[in-house]
A and B are shown apart, each in its own frame.
Chain A
Amino acid sequence: MTRKATLTRAQFEDRLFGVLRWFVIAFLAVITVAPFYYMVLLSVKPIDALLLDPGSLWVSAKDFTLSTYRDVLKSTDDGGQGFVKFLLNSALVSLGTVILTLLAAVPGAYAVSRLKFFGHRQVSALFLAVYLFPATLLAVPLFVIFAKLGLSSSLVGLAIVYVAQTVPVAIYMLKNYLVTIPASIEEAAAIDGAGRLQTVRKVILPLALPSLMATGLYVFMIAWNEFLFALLFLAADPEKWTVSLGLAQLSNGVEVPKTILMAGSVVLTIPVVLLFFAAERMLTEGLTSGADKS
């Protein structure tokens, strides 16, 4: 009797959650895709079409336009919004950040993962602790220092700040990968007469290439998406704006039609999303490795 009751309960639950599961999946699909669909949709409409029928979920053939993209990309001299310039700024800052961060993080990650030196535990804890400090705590002194050095409203200064933001997470990701490379490979290199530096350059770095790529991409994404420091340092100088900052500043005003700014959002989003999908597996593994240990 009780056995039968449990069975029916099990069957009931299996069916209930079997159905619920599909609702959840549909819900997730809608909430993740819909905002991006909406973004692209509005970016190919003229503003009149949006104001006329704000609820419309598609774009009719006669309304379809790409002039929004032309407007947003054109330089300000030609009456556009100058996003090409912003894209260039963003790309410079982000690539600079990636290079500087990797240069700073690789030796540290290697040391933390391999070498037992005085205080190595404290150092890795310190690197993680840095990650926990609020950006606002850094914002105040950096703002002042940069004002003093005359580096405010400079892209170099911004890249340096981003390095500070990304070094800890880069070390964490690289370290997680480096510990999976067997020490015996290094020992073999040492027996063959390679010094420590040579081993790192010729043996470890090539082996860690996937992880370097993943870390670099993640850092690129952080730098590309960053907003607070760009706002603090560059707000006064429209020539230096990054795409994120440019979009945020323009969307505060009312002069630029929303559909044109939507085109700007698409332009801002596409590089990160493309990069991300190109390397999705690598990235998610790099981020979560260590989370799956039992």
Chain B
Amino acid sequence: MTTAPVGAPKRRHTSPGSADRSADRRRRPMTASRRANRAGLAFVSPTFVVVLVVVILPILWTVLLAFQHARLVDIQGMGLVGNWSLDNFTQVFDSAGFWSSLATTLLYTAGATLGSVLLGLVAALALRKPFRGRGLLRAAMLLPYVAPVVAVAFVWEVALSPQYGVVNDWGHRLFGWDNPIAFLSTREYQVNLLGAHFDIPLALLTVIAFECWRYFPFAFLFILARLQAVPAGLEEAAMVDGATLTQRFRHILLPQLMPVIALLCVLRFIMTFNKFDDVYLLTGGGAGTNVAAVRVYDFLTARYDVGAAAAQALVLAVSLMILLGFYFKFFGNKVQEES
């Protein structure tokens, strides 16, 4: 590594600094590492200050606020440390919707994560081999991901509307739906299948579908990139040995893709768990889609109860950490391999 030829754009996987430093050390044996140390700290400090001021300090303050009585009106004259109490947490845990909201959040997160990664995987496999128009489709498929959430949520809202939506109109024409279905405001929709009645949480499912639709391109991008790096020889060898398509996928491709799939699941889980705008824009948190992030927003803006909002956000963050802790304890190796 230290003698990398000039102009060889070699990708270094492990700590690039070390090569740098040992090269330096040869030239200036005494001070090189100290110089690198000092320069490093100097370079990183502006970034660090920005992150400290706009991210870390606010988060710490959230923790403080969560233990205080704080409403927006009296926050002006309040010091950093006021009267401590656990009232906010008792309020959060006792309030009617908390546990159901947490359950909804989990369902929503799990459904959206699995759905988007699965759809991304299927898309990556389908677009793996070249065909006419592949580049165009590949670009078009990223549209849901790059388009502004407000615009696409509005399109979904209009398209699914019971009064003037295209979906209900065609549902009536093609499947003979008697009554228009209010996809975004129906908590429980009764389905009759083979004489049995099911109640399905329609609004929640619709929101999950939206989330899958919006984020499968993200999974698709990562999986496709990894798929194209799988050495062709592996599959050819398996083919010579008589492995069928599904066998090749199961035993050759999937093991190769597993690390990136695991990483995507973790990333999407974290992002979706904290997701606010998608649900807020589609349903406003009504009809059984009251996910925790929307609740925090309600506490903050409808009641101006800063303390309770902070406590709620903190509980949310801690539950996410616990879930991730479990994940890394049991399945950690795969993700670590990747990152």
Does any Cβ of B come within 8 Å of A258's Cβ? yes
A60 touches B (CB below 8 Å): no
Interface string of A250-276 (1 = CB under 8 A from B): 010000001001100110110011001
Interface centre among B20, B48, B55, B148 (most CB of A within 10 A): B148
A115 within 8 Å of B (CB atoms): yes
Is the CB–CB distance between B154 and A17 below 8 Å?
no
Please state if B51 and A182 are interface contacts (CB–CB under 8 Å): no
Task: Evaluate contact between B17 and A160: CB separation under 8 angstroms.
Answer: no
Interface: A155 (CB within 8 A): no
Does B54 touch A at the CB level, under 8 Å?
A: yes
Give A106 to B33 CA distance when docked, in angstroms: 22
Q: Which of B37, B126, B301 has its CB near the most chain A CB atoms (within 10 A)? A: B126
Are B165 and A54 interface neighbours, CB within 8 A? yes
Establish whether residues A179 and B169, one from each chain, have CB atoms under 8 Å apart when the complex forms. no
Please, which residues of chain B bring their CB within 8 A of the CB of A225? 147-150
| Band of interface residues on B | 35 or more
Query: Which positions 148-195 of chain B face chain A at CB distance < 8 Å?
Result: 148-152, 154-159, 163-166, 168-170, 173
Asked if B41 contacts A134 (CB within 8 A), the reply is no
Task: Give the complex CA separation of A294 and B257 in angstroms.
Answer: 10
Q: How far is the CB of B148 from chain A (nearest CB, A)?
A: 4
Given contacts A133-B59, A136-B316, A139-B300, contact A291 B54 (CB under 8 A): no
Indicate if B253 sits at the interface (CB-CB under 8 A): no
- Which residue of the partner chain A has the closest CB to B134? A25
| A contact residues around B165 at 8 Å (CB) | 54
Closest A residue, CB atoms, query B75:
A144
Interface contact A196-B39, CB-CB below 8 Å = yes
Asked if A62 is an interface residue, CB under 8 A from chain B, the answer is: no
Q: Scoring A residues 194 to 219 as 1 if CB is less than 8 Å from chain B, else 0, what string do you get?
A: 00100000000000000000000000
Residues of A in contact with B, size category: 35 or more
Stretch from B96-104, B196-204, B269-277, B326-334 contacting the other chain:
B269-277
Assembly CA distance A284 to B168 (angstroms): 36
Which residues in window 106-124 of A have CB below 8 A to B? 107-118, 120-121, 123
In the complex, which residues 138-156 of chain A have their Cβ closer than 8 Å to any Cβ of chain B? 138-145, 147-148
Residue of A nearest to B36 (CB): A115
Q: A171–B50 Cα gap in the complex (Å)?
A: 12
Say whether B226 faces chain A, with CB atoms less than 8 Å apart.
yes
Residue A87 CB within 8 A of the other chain: no
Q: Which of B49-69 contact A (CB under 8 A)?
A: 50-51, 54-59, 61-62, 65
CA of A28 to CA of B122, assembled, Å: 10
* Interface of A (DSSP majority class): helix
B246-283 with Cβ < 8 A to chain A: 246, 256, 260, 270, 273-274, 276-277, 280-281
Contact B164 A143 (CB under 8 A): no
Complex alpha-carbon distance, A134 and B140, angstroms: 29
Min distance, Cβ A33 to any Cβ of chain B, angstroms: 6
B207 — which chain A residues lie within 8 A by C-beta?
none
Q: Which residues of B contact A127 (CB under 8 A)?
A: 47, 51
Q: Is A14 touching B245 in the complex (CB atoms < 8 A)?
A: yes
Across the interface, A291 reaches (CB within 8 A) one of B33, B244, B260, namely B260
A81 CB to nearest B CB, Å:
14
Kindly provide the distance from the CB of B67 to the nearest chain A CB, expressed in whole angstroms.
13
Decide: B137 and A107 in contact? CB cutoff 8 A. Answer: no
Contact of A61 with B by CB under 8 A? no
Given A10-B244, A171-B47, A228-B277, A140-B143 contact (CB < 8 Å):
no
Tell me the interface secondary structure of chain B in the complex.
Answer: helix
Report A-chain residues with C-beta under 8 Å of the C-beta of B16.
113-114, 179, 183
Instruction: Identify which of A35, A123, A294 gathers the most chain B CB atoms within 10 Å of its CB.
Output: A35
Could you say which residues of chain B place their CB within 8 Å of the CB of A269? 147-148, 151
**Which residues of A33-76 have CB atoms within 8 Å of chain B's CB atoms?**
33, 35-36, 38-39, 42, 50-51, 53-55, 57
Interface residues in B200-249 by Cβ distance below 8 A to A read 213, 217, 221-222, 225-226, 228-229, 231, 242, 244-246
- When the two chains form their complex, are residues A180 and B9 in contact, meaning their CB atoms are under 8 A apart? yes
- Using A140-B313, A248-B281 as known contacts, say yes or no to A182 and B8 having CB atoms under 8 A apart: yes
Q: Any chain B CB within 8 A of the CB of A161?
A: yes
B149 surroundings in chain A (CB, below 8 A): 225, 227, 244
Q: Which of B50, B246, B270 contacts A13 (CB 8 A)?
A: B246
The answer to whether B76 and A42 have CB atoms under 8 Å apart is no
Does residue B112 face the partner (Cβ distance < 8 Å to A)? no
Given contact pairs A112-B44, A132-B270, A280 touches B9 in the complex (Cβ within 8 A) = no
Q: Let me know if B213 and A31 touch, CB within 8 A.
A: yes
* Complex CA–CA separation, A17 to B146 (angstroms): 30
**B150 to A247, Cβ gap below 8 A?**
yes
CA of A185 to CA of B35 in the docked complex: distance in angstroms? 18
- Residue from the set B15, B54, B157 with the largest chain A CB neighbour count within 10 Å: B54
B85 within 8 A of A: no
Contact of A293 among B56, B140, B229 (CB under 8 A): B229
Pairs across A and B, CB under 8 Å, 22 listed? A24-B126, A25-B137, A35-B152, A38-B158, A38-B166, A51-B164, A55-B166, A111-B41, A114-B16, A115-B20, A116-B15, A116-B17, A117-B38, A133-B55, A134-B274, A143-B306, A185-B7, A187-B23, A247-B151, A248-B150, A251-B154, A288-B221
**A residues engaging B (CB < 8 A)?**
3, 6-7, 9-10, 13-14, 17, 21, 24-25, 28-29, 31-33, 35-36, 38-39, 42, 50-51, 53-55, 57, 103-105, 107-118, 120-121, 123, 126-127, 130, 132-145, 147-148, 160-161, 163-164, 167-168, 171, 179-188, 196, 221, 224-225, 227-228, 232, 243-245, 247-248, 251, 258, 261-262, 265-266, 268-269, 272-273, 276-277, 280, 284, 287-288, 291-294
Given A24-B122, A38-B159, A182-B10, 5 more pairs with CB closer than 8 A: A33-B143, A117-B36, A136-B296, A148-B76, A180-B9
